[in-house]
Chains A and B, each alone.
Chain A
Amino acid sequence: MADVTLIVDGKQITAPAGTLLIEACKSAGIEIPAFCYYPGLSLQAACRMCVVRIEKQPKLATACTTTIAEGMVVQTETPEIAQARKATLQLLLGNHPLDCPVCDAGGECELQDMTFKYGAAESFYAEPKNHREEQKWSPVVYFDRPRCILCYRCVRMCGEGMDVFALGIQNRGSSAVIAPNVPAQLSPDDLAHVDCEQCGMCIDACPVGALTSGTYRYKTRPWEMNHVATVCTHCGDGCKTTLGVRSTSDGSEIVRGDNRDKSGINNDFLCNKGRYAFDFANHEDRITQPLVRQANGELKPVSWEIALDHVGKKLRELRDTRGGKSIGVIGGNRLTNEEAYLLQKFARTVLHTNNIDHHRTADYVAFAQSLAGHGERTASLHDTLKAPAVLIVGGDPTVQSPATAWNLRTNVRLNRAKLYIANAAEIKLRRQAKAFLQLAPFGYNALAAYLAGDEAAALSATSDTAALSSFRDAVKAEENLLILIGSELRGAELKKLIDFGLTIPGAKFALLSDYVNSRGAADMGLLPDMLPGYTPVGATSPMATEYAGPNALGLDMLEMFDSADRGNLSALYVVGANPVARYSIDPATLKNTFVVVQEMFLTETAALADVVLPAANLYEKAGSVTNSYGDLQQVSKAGDRAGVRTDFEMIVRVADKIGANMQSLVPFGKGLRADMGQTRGVQSGEADRHAVWLTANNMEPRLSPFDSFAILDEIQRLVPGYNILRLQLLSGNDQHLSPAATPLVQISNRRDLVVPANDTLFTSGTLGRYSTMLCDLQQNEILRASNLTQIQTAAD
């Protein structure tokens, strides 16, 4: 749109026509205070804080509802305006409890900030304040009515942003109150509750301390924490979450997760997992000492030295006696890229085996191969916010990729994006969809075939073939279509769908998976037949020449367990994965296999291990991860726990015990310069400015074999598609990478290798079981469901 020029506080500013005055001012560096205004949500104009003086208008005008006009002359900070804002604050504070010393929001409160600025310090009311008791709406949402200033941000956030509509307003005037959707009179416990997705966006949006988080309330003060921005571990969207960390006697404890500066790939959004489900780190079942199985079968805590010695000796012996092909390695999809890369490199070059796999939650191999040569056709998470049209086949983003769903809803609401959904289930996003195609159960393959031109597949795809045909026509007519694919589509069917999409001009693709680095695990070559970057094992490539690995294809996940069952797998090295539970493996399968597991907890897999090495989780390490879309982000170390080691460090130390060439495994010590006094901790992840500059210029010395940046260098050098911009990465921004797979060799038909986690809003694989808050929320859901049944029964 054309630009409009106006004068604000004597300064000429220019912004696109149609911009709201408050936004135009913001972009020119002029802050106009507002409680109720929230970018992207409907306008409220309720708080009257953003009043400004616009020439030729009789009254003060609200900047949040004024669209800029050419030649407009605006004053934003005159004595008259300051007085208006002060008076508004005085009115708010009249009924405010002023319990700032104990309020969670203290120090991060917009009402405090405004009072500080406008000085509404004197009190002239003699009457008592209106008081209401605080309410627990759910395990994670608490409401303190007296602190509420009724800006309605939470109401709009929940309704417009989340499409949940769990909050509303009751009563009117000074009795008006934010109320949740399960009123006290409908609750068996006679207390009001929210029936919702528990995302915590209402708390996030609350400018004061009226809505507080069940995990954080009354725990600490904001200024007593360090705030570490990192990436949430729980789903494939990879949202930025800022973890509030406090020192404890045995490390540093994470006490809060939130979307503090909203600068991440997720913009405004963060779901309940990113916000609350960091607490697995503090679970009492956490293993903090290495465990080695004794002759009597018991796992006994031992020192690190003993455990690592044992693992090293044993693996070396098995490798040398029974050969690398008798050893299997399984990685996790919550490891960093550096760890995943290091693990497969360790397997291939130290253990001499290609028996490598990970818990696959989507078929990234087929995805990369189908898009070989079409790197520009892969979508970033950002595209979900911008694409004019989106096709979603399979999956349920609301539950499995909440940030994706948030972006899609926002895109539909603000940009009128057209959403086409084909799903066997009536997923919630259907409410935003322009067209919803109800597929038959397991109808995805038939749909892919139909879209690829097989008319005969129509009836297997859906019972409504007329809808199917108009759905296809509508989708085909779209330009710049974004195609989001659920994990239901794999192998040849996935390729069919992508081939169809490639015929649509400008179409882009993303394959949705389940965990923070599900994509990275595949990209980094935790695969039996692929080196990093989907480079086929045995093919000639720059990578293969540097890898002195075996040329034969390795065993995949299921083959490894088959092999173990036949007594042919002498050792299994599992890093951050729980395949025994995930692939429903009979525990007896592993009775003759030497099993090493790097884990946080005694999972089903760890419980069978001969050695369990206590691992740090993603929030306790630094590195990089790649989300479902191929967006690379930096992970920073937030928490710390005495006794545990990062997977990176453990792999290096095991390799060392085996007798591997450390310089070759982790190319450290190649730096030419001293670090000029800027030595960083091994896992600090803190990028000081000097280090950022050095790193950007690829000059930083790698002083330690535990320096994951040494591996990042190698990833950047060797992995096709990982053309990383270091400055971008290290300054906490995301960057989109496209897989650069070599064209199709052959597409595996092992559909059973892909096991989607099918997590709900309140589960997160094995890890989620150790999050007290997720467990509480599941319990809460069960309770709510049973209450509902009771109420319905009573009504009948």
Chain B
Amino acid sequence: MPTLVSHPDEVKIVSRRFGQGAADIEKYIELDGYKAVQLAISQGAEMSNWIINTMKASGLRGRGGAGFPTGMKWSFVPKVSEKPKYVLVNGDESEPGTCKDHVIFLHDPHSVIEGTMIAGLAIGSKLGFIYLRGEYRYLLKQVEKAVADAYAKGFLGKNIFGSGIDFDIITQTGAGAYEVGEESALMESLEGKRGVPRIKPPFPAVVGLYGGPTVINNAETIANAPHILLMGGEAYAKLGTERNGGTRLFGISGHVERPGVYELPMGYSLRKAIYEVAGGIKDGKKLKAVVPGGSSCPVLTADEIDVGLDFDQMGKAGTMLGSGGIVVLDETVSIVEFAMRVISFYQHESCGWCIPCREGTDWIKKTLTRVYNGGGSKKDVDNVQYLAENMMGRTFCPLGDAAAMPTLGFVKKFRKEFEDYIEGHKAGTPLITVEQLVGAGH
């Protein structure tokens, strides 16, 4: 089990049971577990409205990266539906640099279960799914045990907490595709099909899993729900900034002294997060750049880190809060190599459905690999920028943007480094072949 980190600036809401053995249901109950769901049920006929209003008041925005207000999402689900309604927990945490859902499943799986129940009660669903990333299969046993324990206690199944409402949870893992982190692709995957996204509209709230109205939320979002119900929406909202309620988990990795997952209030300074919370740059080196919210977010240079960590401030800074995965790069990092590795990931994970993403990621990867190996010209930098610009906003799903955005960030903000690199690496021995990169054999 990775070591848990801690810092006084942290405001522990969703992480408050971390490190206390809450994976055990008794311990979880002891730490106010399953109280929120009972509180919800005690609202009687007003239950659904009460939950949704509390969630709206909390200002909680989707923690997967898009930042859509959760309460509003839940309110979109039609009250009456011919088809069954579903709750889906998106635990397909695949964005490079992100490892927050991982610790939730590890330390507090019951909070996800309880959150799923709350979402189910809010929208009138009787069935929830917890979808774990394929690479998190080793966590499945623990999550399954938590679900089984909840069933054994009678918390799940028929007539939960005497409410007369039935609620079941099914766990499922993916098969190792980044793409199924996209909500509609996840549904396809869960239905046993190829994990490719669906055409929207209709949105999942209306036509989702198996054609039924579906709420799909990130695991961290869902895990927040019980805490919000217990502390009240307004109290949660106050922890953060305007329109960015509460706290969130930030996974700070890379060249810092104390990497780890920290729960910080929304709007917390990025500079402080790096230099104080994570202990500053490792070995006293200089900061070169920060990828602030998972590898799809445009890079920030060392001069651009005086920004608050919330959706709106990060947007204004020309990047994104994303999934909260802050990757810190020190002065030793070659941006050319980093860009190549990032695009290699997206090239490997592109599902192939649409042309701009499928072909664009491939050509950017090939070009950057050649540049890295010393066969580049300045024209290549233009080409990469041209490709990325023409992928932006043109792809079927956000994966294309996720690949184009960081690429644009790299070549725009570090153009001189690319050009210098190209000058300095003429016709040397190849450092790496395309095949040696991720995606060998393809």
Residues of A within 8 A of B (CB): 43-48, 51, 58-60, 65, 83-84, 87-88, 90-92, 94-95, 124-127, 149-150, 169, 171-176
Contact = CB atoms under 8 A, between A and B. Distances in A.
Interface string B417-442: 00000000000000000100001001
Contacts, number: 104
Given A45-B199, A48-B354, A173-B362, 7 more contacts: A60-B394, A91-B359, A91-B390, A127-B363, A169-B352, A173-B347, A175-B442
B217 to A, nearest CB: 24
Contact of A94 (B359, B396, B439): B359
B352 A127 contact: no
11 contacts: A48-B396, A87-B356, A87-B387, A90-B390, A92-B355, A125-B367, A150-B352, A171-B442, A173-B362, A174-B347, A175-B352
Nearest to A64: B199
Tell which of A43, A48, A58, A65 has the most Cβ of chain B within 10 Å.
Answer: A48
A91 B386 CA distance: 11
A232 to B, nearest CB: 36
A174 B355 contact: no
Interface string B376-420: 000110010011001001111000000000000000000000000
The 10 closest A-B pairs by CB, nearest first: A176-B352, A87-B390, A91-B359, A174-B362, A173-B350, A175-B442, A127-B366, A59-B393, A46-B354, A173-B352
A127 B370 contact: yes
Contact of B363 (A59, A60, A84, A94): A94
A35 B351 CA distance: 18
A595 B179 CA distance: 73
B199 A173 contact: no
Contacts of B199: 43, 45, 65
Nearest to B349: A173
Contact of B356 (A48, A125, A169): A48
A527 to B, nearest CB: 55
A48 B366 contact: no
Contacts of B442: 171, 173-175
B358 A150 contact: yes
Describe A's contact surface by its main secondary structure: loop
B393 A172 contact: no
A641 to B, nearest CB: 46
Contacts of A171: 352, 442
A91 B356 contact: yes
Contact of B354 (A43, A45, A87): A45
B134 interface: no
B84 interface: no
B348 interface: yes
Nearest to A45: B199
A68 to B, nearest CB: 14
Contact of A172 (B177, B356, B386): B177
B194 interface: yes
Nearest to A124: B383
Contacts of B386: 87, 124
Contacts of B370: 126-127
Nearest to A169: B194
B193 to A, nearest CB: 11
A60 B396 CA distance: 11
A545 B359 CA distance: 75
A460 B348 CA distance: 62
Contacts of A58: 393
B355 A88 contact: yes
A45 B352 contact: no
B298 interface: no
A702 B379 CA distance: 72
B360 interface: yes
Given A83-B390, A176-B358, A91 B363 contact: yes
Contacts of B210: none
Nearest to A43: B199
Contacts of B358: 150, 173-174, 176
Contacts of B359: 91-92, 94-95, 174
Interface string B193-223: 0100001000000000000000000000000
Contacts of B355: 46-48, 88, 91-92, 149-150
A59 to B, nearest CB: 4
A60 B380 CA distance: 27
A127 B367 contact: yes
B393 A60 contact: yes
Contact of A125 (B350, B366, B390): B366
Given A48-B396, A87-B390, A127-B370, A172 B363 contact: no
Contacts of B395: 48
B375 interface: yes
A155 to B, nearest CB: 11
B361 interface: yes
Contacts of A51: 394
Tell which of A59, A94, A126 has the most Cβ of chain B within 10 Å.
Answer: A126
B353 A125 contact: no
A677 to B, nearest CB: 54
Nearest to A42: B199
Nearest to B352: A176
Given A91-B360, A172-B351, A174-B362, A46 B394 contact: no
A176 B349 CA distance: 11
Given A174-B347, A174-B442, A45 B393 contact: no
A743 B417 CA distance: 93
Contacts of A127: 363, 366-367, 370, 434
Contacts of B393: 58-60
Tell which of B356, B361, B395 has the most Cβ of chain A within 10 Å.
Answer: B356
Nearest to A128: B366
A329 to B, nearest CB: 60
Given A84-B394, A169-B194, A125 B363 contact: yes
A39 to B, nearest CB: 16
Contacts of A60: 393-394
B196 to A, nearest CB: 9
Nearest to A88: B355
Given A60-B393, A84-B394, A88-B394, A173 B354 contact: no
Contacts of B439: 173
Nearest to A90: B390
Tell which of A95, A149, A175 has the most Cβ of chain B within 10 Å.
Answer: A175
A111 to B, nearest CB: 11
Tell which of B350, B358, B367, B386 has the most Cβ of chain A within 10 Å.
Answer: B358
Tell which of A60, A83, A149, A150 has the most Cβ of chain B within 10 Å.
Answer: A150
B82 to A, nearest CB: 16
A787 to B, nearest CB: 27
B367 to A, nearest CB: 7
A127 B358 CA distance: 16
A78 to B, nearest CB: 14
Tell which of B349, B383, B394 has the most Cβ of chain A within 10 Å.
Answer: B394
A499 to B, nearest CB: 41
Nearest to A168: B194
Contacts of A46: 353-355, 396
A696 B152 CA distance: 84
A746 B188 CA distance: 61
A245 to B, nearest CB: 36
B438 to A, nearest CB: 11
B357 to A, nearest CB: 8
Contacts of A124: 379, 383, 386
A132 to B, nearest CB: 12
A88 B356 contact: yes
B411 to A, nearest CB: 15
Contacts of B349: 172-173
A82 to B, nearest CB: 12
A47 B352 CA distance: 11
Contacts of A125: 363, 366-367, 383
B51 to A, nearest CB: 31
A198 B190 CA distance: 33
A222 B395 CA distance: 34
